Amino acid sequence: MTVLINQTGACTTVPLALSSTTPTTLYTATQFDAVLGLRVTNTHSSAVVVTVELVRSATSYAIIDQSVAANTSIEGPDYLPMKEGDVLKVTLGSANPVDVVAIIMQGAGRNG
């Protein structure tokens, strides 16, 4: 399948600072949006397991599910298309401070 990006979409940065094990919504798609980048940074002195998932129609799909070493970062997918109503959620395995930043193209559209 080929996906073509509609060049009229607006890019936005979505930051989230977490320190709780409660699943937290990072972003909810309002149309055919796309994640252009995702970075998770552990700002704590201990490792923490981070799970980022795409929730579509009550079904969760793991995008990232790994331990992030102390004071390091990991990156997620380079491109993740989303449908209207899709939700990106972040859950921490322990209550250590973590920063998550997503670059979203709103209204990326779809063709193909």
Longest dimension (CA), the chain: 46
Q: Which tokens is 103 given?
A: 């670059």
Q: What is the pLDDT of residue 78?
A: 87
List the alpha helices (DSSP H) in the chain.
Answer: none
Give all domains of the chain, ordered by start, each with its CATH number. 10-106 (2.60.120.1010)
Partners of 20 in beta bridges = none
CA nearest to 6, candidates 100, 96, 107, 78: 107
Contacts of 22 (CB under 8 A, 6+ apart): 91
Q: What is the pLDDT of residue 1?
A: 44
- Residue 90, classed as helix, strand or coil, is strand
Q: What is the pLDDT of residue 5?
A: 52
- Contact assessment for residue 26 and residue 16, using Cβ atoms and an 8 Å cutoff: yes
Please report, in tens digits, the pLDDT of each residue of the chain (112 residues total).
445 555 566 899 999 999 999 999 999 999 999 999 999 999 999 999 999 999 999 999 999 999 999 999 999 988 999 999 999 999 999 999 999 999 999 987 665 4
What is the dihedral sign for C-alpha 104, 3, 60, 38?
Answer: negative
d(CA 91, CA 54) in angstroms, rounded, equals 12
